[in-house]
Structure 1
C-alpha cells in the first residue's frame, strides 16, 4: 500500500475544499452568533471535547483569551456524565462543545447539563443532526463532509477554521476575519511540502516529544495523537515551556524531538531548546526555521499566526500517512479503535 491509497491521505487532501465550503456557508450563522456573544459578553468560556476535538479546544483557548479577552477552561465531560453533577448556575457562560460526530454520550450529557444551568451552549459539529447539535442552543456545522478514516484530519482543520470564524465574528476583529480568506490557498501550498526526510528519521523510533506553543500547541497535540493512532509510535505533546519543567530530562541520544515552531512570540524558546537538545545528541526535527544540527522541514512563511497551525497540520497529515506505511501499519484502521468513540 502507498500513502496515496489511504483514506486519511485522500481526506486530508480535501482540506482546502472544506475551507472554501465552510467560508462560503458559515458567514451568516457565525455573524448571528457573534451578535449573540457580544450581547451576552460571557466572562467565562468552557470548552468540552475529546480527542482531536479537544486539541481544537486548545486552539480556541488561546484565540479566545488573546482576542475576546475571556478566560477559557476545559470542562471534564465525566463531571456530568459519570458523576452526574448538577450545576448551581452557569448563566452568562459560553459552553463550547466541539465534536466531529456529535454522538459521544459524555459530551452530549455535558452540553445538556450546561444548558440546564443557564449556559449558552454552542456546538461545532460535523453532523448537524447529531444528538450534540440537538442538545445545543446554537449548532455550527463544520461542513467537512463524510470522514471515513478512524483518524480525523479534515474535520480537525474545519474545527480550527470555524473557531477562527467564531472569534472573528464575536470580536468584530478584521485582524482575524481577513486572514480566513487566505486559508484555502495556504492549505493547498502546505499539502505540497515534502516532509519525507522525517519519515526516514522516525521510521525506526519508538518514543518522541512533539513541541508547540500558543496557537501552535493545538497542532502539536494533534500531531502526537496521530503518531500514536496511525503509526503506533509513543508521542507526547508539550509546550516548549512545559517540557522544561521535568520532561526534558528524557531527551538524549535515540529520543527524537519534533518541534513545531510558532510564528509569533512563542517561537522565542525554540532555537535555544533545539541547540540544547542537539548538544545532548537527540535527533531534532524542526518546522518553522533552520537550526544548526537539526533536520529542518519546509514550511510556509508570512502566514497569520492563527492560520499557521492549520497549514502546519495539513503538511503533517500527508507526512504521517507516509510514516505509517513506512512502519508497516494501515493508518486508516488503527488496532482497537473505532471512528465514533462513545465514552460516558
Structure 2
C-alpha cells in the first residue's frame, strides 16, 4: 500500500507542496506585466492565438486554449514545433499572439518555433520559470513563473504556476472580475487542495497496468498531465481522453475492473462527464471521480471553487497521490528512467 510518510521525503512531494507559495510569488511579481499584456490584447485583439510548448507545458496550453476559446472566442492552436525546427516551413503571416510556455526556456525546437512565429508578426508572451533564458530574450513580454528551482525531473509547481498564469491572462484580458478575485485566493485554496488525500486512487493503481483519465474543456489538459506523470513516475500506461471522445472507439477497451479516473469541473461540461463516468461504471470499470458524483463511481475528495480553477486544485491533489504511488510500485518519482530535467529536442 502507498505510504504517504515515505512519499513526503521525495523531492516531487516537497516541491508540489510548495505550489501555493509559488503561485503567491507569481501573483506578487507579475501584476504590472499582466496589466500591460491585457491592455495590449484588448486594444488590438489578435485574430488567432498560437501556443508553443512541449510536455507538461503543452498540457498547460491545452488548459489555456479552452479558457481563451470559451471566454474570448478566439481560435487557439498549438504550433507543431517540428515545422520550424526540422521542416523549415514558412513563417505564419499573422498579427496574432504566441504564448510560449517553458520551465527552462532552452529547448531548441521551442526557440525555433517562437522565432518563426515572431518573424510572421506575432506578439510573443513567455511564461517561463528561468527568466534569464534564451526564450525570455525573444519575448515581447515575460511572465516569470516564480516556481523556484525544481530538482525532481517530474515538474509539479512550475506546471501549477503555468496554469495559474494562463488563467490570470485570460481573466485580465476578458475583464472577468469573478475569475480575477478567485485567482487572488488561489494560493490559499491550493494549500487546502494539498490536504485532499487521494490515497484511494494510489491504492487502486498499485498493481494496475493501464488507466484512462477523462477530462473535458479545461480539464482535458489536466487529464493529459496526469497521464504523463503516471507514465513518468509509475511506469503506468495511462491515456488521457476527452470524456466525449472516449466513446468514439477507446470505450471498447473498457471492461470489468478497468481503472478510470474522471475529472469533472462545475461548468457546462459536468453533466456529460458524469454520464460517461456512470456508463463506464455500469460496464464494470473501476471508476474514480473527482469533482462530482456518478452512479457506481468512487468519489475522490475535492474542493469546490471557480470552475476555471477547479482543475488546478485537482492537479495538486493528484501530485501528492502520484508520489506515493510511484514508491509503492518500487520506483523513484524524482528520477524516472531515461529522462532529464531539460529535454533538448530539435
TM-score greater than 0.5 by the shorter chain: yes
Change (3 A) 1:172 1:276: closer
Partner of 2:37: 33
Secondary structure of the structure 1 residue equivalent to 2:211 = strand
Q: 1:215–1:305: 8 Å Cα contact kept in structure 2?
A: no
Partner of 1:268: 271
1:206-241, Cα deviation, whole Å (9 max, x unpaired): 101000111111111111110100010000000100
Give the alignment's TM-score, normalised by structure 1.
0.97
Cα shift at 1:272: 2.0
Instruction: Please state if 1:78 is matched with 2:57.
Output: no
Secondary structure of the structure 1 residue equivalent to 2:345 = coil
Runs of 4+ in 1 over 4 A off after TM superposition: none
Secondary structure of the structure 1 residue equivalent to 2:306 = coil
Partner of 1:333: 335
Q: 2 CA distance for matches of 1:204 and 1:308?
A: 29
Cα shift at 1:339: 0.5
Q: 1:97–1:124: 8 Å Cα contact kept in structure 2?
A: yes
Partner of 2:315: 313
Q: 1:87–1:114: 8 Å Cα contact kept in structure 2?
A: yes
Instruction: Please state if 1:173 is matched with 2:173.
Output: no
Q: 1:123–1:138: 8 Å Cα contact kept in structure 2?
A: yes
Change (3 A) 1:73 1:204: same
Count of matched residue pairs: 342
Superposed, which structure 2 residues align to 1:118-197 within 5 Å?
Answer: 118-197=121-200
Instruction: Please state if 1:229 is matched with 2:232.
Output: yes
Instruction: Please state if 1:48 is matched with 2:48.
Output: no
Q: 2 CA distance for matches of 1:30 and 1:271?
A: 35
> Which ranges in structure 1 are unaligned for 5 or more consecutive residues?
none
Deviates more, 1:18-27 or 1:205-214: 18-27
Q: 1 CA distance for matches of 2:92 and 2:324?
A: 50
Q: 2 CA distance for matches of 1:10 and 1:157?
A: 14
Cα shift at 1:281: 1.4
Partner of 1:108: 111
Picking from 203, 209, 212, the partner of 1:209 is 212
Q: 2:92–2:117: 8 Å Cα contact kept in structure 1?
A: no
Q: 2 CA distance for matches of 1:42 and 1:320?
A: 38
Superposed, which structure 2 residues align to 1:238-277 within 5 Å?
Answer: 238-277=241-280
Q: 1:81–1:106: 8 Å Cα contact kept in structure 2?
A: yes
Q: 2 CA distance for matches of 1:226 and 1:192?
A: 20
Q: 2 CA distance for matches of 1:88 and 1:124?
A: 21
Picking from 295, 298, 302, the partner of 1:299 is 302
Cα shift at 1:38: 1.5
1:221-262, Cα deviation, whole Å (9 max, x unpaired): 111110100010000000100101111111112321111112
Partner of 2:284: 281
CA RMSD of aligned residues (A): 1.2
Secondary structure of the structure 2 residue equivalent to 1:140 = strand
> Which ranges in structure 2 are unaligned for 5 or more consecutive residues?
none
Secondary structure of the structure 2 residue equivalent to 1:342 = coil
Cα shift at 1:114: 1.0
Q: 2:92–2:116: 8 Å Cα contact kept in structure 1?
A: no
Q: 2 CA distance for matches of 1:243 and 1:279?
A: 15
Q: 1:121–1:137: 8 Å Cα contact kept in structure 2?
A: yes
Cα shift at 1:88: 5.5
Secondary structure of the structure 2 residue equivalent to 1:268 = helix
1:141-190, Cα deviation, whole Å (9 max, x unpaired): 11110111111100000001111111122222213211111211110111
